[in-house]
Structure 1
Amino acid sequence: MSDRSELDRRRAQLSQAKRDLLAEWLTGRARHRSIPRRRDDGPAPLSFAQERLWFLEQLLPGTRAYWLPTALTLSGPLEPEPLRRALAEVVRRHEVLRTRFPAPGGRAAQVVDPPWEPELADTPDESPFDLAAGRVVRAHLTRSGQDEHLLTVTTHHIVGDAWSQRVLVRELAALYEAYADDAPTPLPEPPIQYADFAVWQRDQLAGPGMAGQLEHWRAALSGVPTLELPADRPRPATPTQAGATHRHTLSPSLLGGLQDLASATGTTLYMVVLAALATLLRGRTGETDIAVGTPVAGRGSPDVEGLIGFFANTVVLRVDLSGGPTARELLGRVRTTALAAFEHAEVPFARVVEELRLPRELTRTPLFQVQLVVQDAPPEPVALRGGLVFDVATLDTGGAQVDLSFAFSRGVCRIDYSTDLFDPDTVSGMAEELVDLLAAMVRAPDRVLPGSTAPRPSAPTRVEPRARPPYRAPVTELEQSIASVWAHVLGVDRVGLDETFFELGGHSVRLIQAHSALRAATGRAVEVVDLFAHPTVAALAAHLDKGDRSSQRVTKSRQVAAARLAALSRVAGTRGGAGEH
């Protein structure tokens, strides 16, 4: 095997996050991505990812949708005091774990509190997180047998992601071992803190390079069709986010063949699986233009590799299956698309959605309904001196934030699916079909894949911005007050009766600001959900004029909010968007 082939083989075995970092080092870009410490220790802005989650928490205060539990089985003799000290040291080291999020004037900020020690409780704390008050870390230790314990550390997603969970486990193990031996901490201080990243991120995205980044996504995703995947039930008006999981194991021979195919075609395992998944979706929908979402780690700078924080983002890859390509040809298209997408992966997904000015739907994710993750293998158990073993326990959340989420790790295909839409047998059939497609790619990469030439539907649904309605001037005092507030918050000259807040450029932070300003300007008890349920000046004014605060209206508003939350949670790049490829 040539040196180049061996390098390609080893590169194909890396996760996408690690390939991103390697590419940056090889091209010299990483040398220019050092993140400076911020100038003062006062309040800092939220990152874009945090800003979206903070908004969702305001929409439905106390929701558990964004709790991030890390479960560890501790096997062997355990000393609680070194464990308590280790957890306290992790909280001291990572400022984001002792950050609160007050929102004076409707715009949240990060305020770092002095170090504090989380309690190792013997019963779980089920009370809602209060982001304004802080204390976003909870620990629960239970004994499950002789020398067997379960440690659950739960944070709010606003301060962590899947990569962060690995950092937490690694640091807890190292610190526990040191403290059990009465030794000092073996860990160096982090070079920066999460608030430094948040300031730097906003500076970067406000710079001249942002226009080119956004132009890429405008060109790449303009006119992307809505994927109408046949389901067992109609899509409900109010999604429940209820879900289930199906697992399918790939044979070692197939997994080896896929890795060899990736090496031979200059691609990666992720790209091979994406090509097969797009072909599967093509066969079931007849569409040749397939959009798939994928989470990225969002840690392009070496300074943040060892940090706990919410860095994850979501990118959308648009796969072109027109013309019935062979597997090799399709892999070439996927490679080009994927490399371009990851090159522009720093643009927050919510910012891309806002830039495209797409219609807002309560029932589905913007831009994509299917997600793909090719993950690193889960951490191996850590055996410490004294016989204690730390091992990560797998938790199934029982929820589905997108219609279908395919995750590959250690030769296992895991499909999390919406039970609103799909039955177990349907998903099991998809898994088998996907494995068959992968096997066909390995056997005959120069043949057209089965299903890639399925009939095209006569009228695919494409997502286009709604035409701006003709201007109608506000008439009543209430309409004029609402229009004035919206114009001020949105930075536009005027707002007509029929223009929606979101299509004029409204997003989560502006919505909270508008909500606060509307209460002051109108003297009415405006709720955040009212702006979702009645997004035009005319509709909101008519709603407020009715003054109906009955339990029926409140219940309906909560249903609308829940549906909106289901849709927006997928924009936030949440738990599933925190992993690596």
Structure 2
Amino acid sequence: MLELVAGLPEAEEPASEEPAVAGAPDVAVDVPLLSGQRQLWLAEQADPGSLTHTIPLVLDLTGPLRPDAFAAAVNDVVAHQPGLRGTFVEVDGRPVQRIQPHAGIDVPVHDLTGLDPSGREAERERLEHEIAYTGFDITRGPLLQARIVRLEPDRHQVQLLFHHLVTDEVSMTLLMQGLSTAYEARAAGRAPVLPRHEVDFATLARAEQDLLDGPEGERLRRFWARELAGASALRLATDHPRGDRARFRGEFLERPVSTAAAGALRELATAGRTTPFTVFCAAVSVLLHRLSGQDDIVIGIPTANRTQRGAEQLVGCFLNVIPIRLDLSGNPRFDELVQRVGAAVLRAYEHQQAPFADIVQTVAPQRVTGMHPIYQVTCELQLESWMPASFAGLGCEYRFISHGTARYDMAFHGLLRPSGLSAMLELNTDLWDHASGYQRIDQVLEIIAAVAGAPRTPIGDLDGVRHAA
């Protein structure tokens, strides 16, 4: 997630706190959808049960895990966060989020300690694959699954699966904060106390719709019409011809952690008085410029879209992936390009409340069958603070599992860990082979390495650019 996730308040919790189970309704409550949820709901109607919008996540834990305390902590968070109890149904022809009473979710334990090492590893891989390739019926909950795999007495794996309708990048931060707090309390034999929410989904959804229907909504639409006037789709050579419809088949590719790349991103950001994300995005744009031959490039970036007070406390899908238009004309120095990218990012952030669907309707781009409108490539960077999983007495590493899907042609992901930068790519494998995807990751890392000691280098002279044919 972008740097804005790092701004989530840790010390500024409301003075009023409550036990985790307080506030859960006794009956189901229907609330309007947020704009981000509406887009996902429509996609789900076109392809029910699709894996495209599911998120499989693994926590690798070392130390003396208390499975009972962890299962209780998961239920504490579900009880505390109404969005995690949501299902999505139609009422009188309109989709609504139905917040269910908390009935408890099962967190089974799979004990593999009785197997020999090879059998244990094979079963772990099978369980990972099973949960990664599990779909959801969004009309029935919960849209979260969790289970614990015991590998050794002091080594466990927690396998989690979410539907994107109930979570986003900011939500993952909130989820891990809540799980960590609840597990510490449960392991100590007490109920957790979690901060009381300041606002509910119904209030936020109504306020969002009022804004979009009013003068501010019109101002947002005028901005995007001007910002994207005359913009063209990226023209990238592919290994395979584009089909007549998007099938969203892909793989999540990753290179080993690079300490040097992480240091370079931070140093370049400090020197340019900007953020590591802006530098990472600039490096990706240099590669796309070389691959396409285009000076005018539009890519997508995720924004939190939590501008209303209290929204930052709720787990749910507020995410809005918005376009940024980048000017790479004139063979600028890399440090100059970073400033251009930073300005474009700020412009987009200031207008992030316009739902992407509204942007598409306003701009009315020429549509190409099987191609995502306006942007086909996205870029994001998550900071070290993104997943603050700190469970009492346990070491924790997390990773995502590839499950054969890709929402865009290419989605560049960077993850800053304490050990360095993990560079990843979600690749549309209907268009490119794995080898091409790994090559693109390597080229971004080459660009970052090339500018680390020479940020004033014109982008046309960078090694990673010259080799990006």
Give TM-score scaled by structure 2 length: 0.81
**Mapped contact 1:98–1:135 kept (Cα < 8 A):** yes
Equivalent-residue separation in structure 1 for 2:67 and 2:78 (angstroms): 17
2:195 alignment partner, SS class? coil
Q: How does 1:95-244 map to 2 (within 5 A)?
A: 95-121=82-108, 129-244=136-251
Asked whether 1:420 is paired with 2:427, we answer: no
| Residues 196 and 230 (structure 1), Cα distance of their counterparts in 2 relative to 1, 3 Å cut | same
1:101 alignment partner, SS class? strand
1:409 alignment partner, SS class? strand
C-alpha displacement of 1:294: 1.0
Q: 2:443 aligns with which of 433, 441, 454?
A: 433
| Structure 2 stretches lacking a partner, 5+ long | 13-22, 111-129
Report the equivalent of 2:454.
Answer: 444
Equivalent-residue separation in structure 1 for 2:171 and 2:212 (angstroms): 23
Letter in 2 for 1:47: L
Asked whether 1:392 is paired with 2:430, we answer: no
Report the equivalent of 2:410.
Answer: 404
C-alpha displacement of 1:128: 5.1
Asked whether 1:321 is paired with 2:308, we answer: no
C-alpha displacement of 1:20: 7.5
Letter in 2 for 1:157: H
Equivalent-residue separation in structure 1 for 2:50 and 2:312 (angstroms): 29
**Mapped contact 1:440–1:449 kept (Cα < 8 A):** no
Equivalent-residue separation in structure 2 for 1:348 and 1:383 (angstroms): 36
| Residues 113 and 383 (structure 1), Cα distance of their counterparts in 2 relative to 1, 3 Å cut | closer
Report the equivalent of 1:94.
Answer: 81
* RMSD (Å) for aligned C-alpha atoms: 3.1
Which has the higher Rg, Structure 1 or Structure 2?
1
Give TM-score scaled by structure 1 length: 0.66
Letter in 1 for 2:107: L
Letter in 2 for 1:235: R
**Mapped contact 2:389–2:396 kept (Cα < 8 A):** yes
Between Structure 1 and Structure 2, which shows a larger proportion of helix residues? Answer: 1
- Which segment is superposed worse, 97-106 or 252-261? 252-261
Where has structure 1 moved over 6 Å in runs of 4 or more? 19-22, 123-127
1:120 alignment partner, SS class? coil
C-alpha displacement of 1:146: 2.7
Report the equivalent of 1:57.
Answer: 44
Report the equivalent of 2:17.
Answer: none
Q: Deviations over 1:46-69 (max 9, x none)?
A: 111111222222222222322233
- Which segment is superposed worse, 345-354 or 394-403? 394-403
Letter in 2 for 1:379: M
**Mapped contact 1:441–1:449 kept (Cα < 8 A):** no
Q: 2:268 aligns with which of 261, 266, 279?
A: 261
Between Structure 1 and Structure 2, which shows a larger proportion of strand residues? Answer: 2
Equivalent-residue separation in structure 1 for 2:71 and 2:262 (angstroms): 42
Q: 2:387 aligns with which of 379, 386, 401?
A: 379
Q: 1:364 aligns with which of 361, 368, 371?
A: 371
Letter in 1 for 2:78: V
1:43 alignment partner, SS class? strand
C-alpha displacement of 1:253: 4.4
**Mapped contact 1:292–1:372 kept (Cα < 8 A):** yes
Equivalent-residue separation in structure 1 for 2:225 and 2:217 (angstroms): 12
For these two proteins, the number of residue pairs brought into alignment is 424
Letter in 2 for 1:436: E
Q: Deviations over 1:453-475 (max 9, x none)?
A: x99xxxxxxxxxxxxxxxxxxxx
**Mapped contact 2:269–2:275 kept (Cα < 8 A):** yes
Equivalent-residue separation in structure 1 for 2:265 and 2:135 (angstroms): 45
C-alpha displacement of 1:148: 3.3
Equivalent-residue separation in structure 1 for 2:438 and 2:190 (angstroms): 51
| Residues 247 and 137 (structure 1), Cα distance of their counterparts in 2 relative to 1, 3 Å cut | closer
2:460 alignment partner, SS class? coil
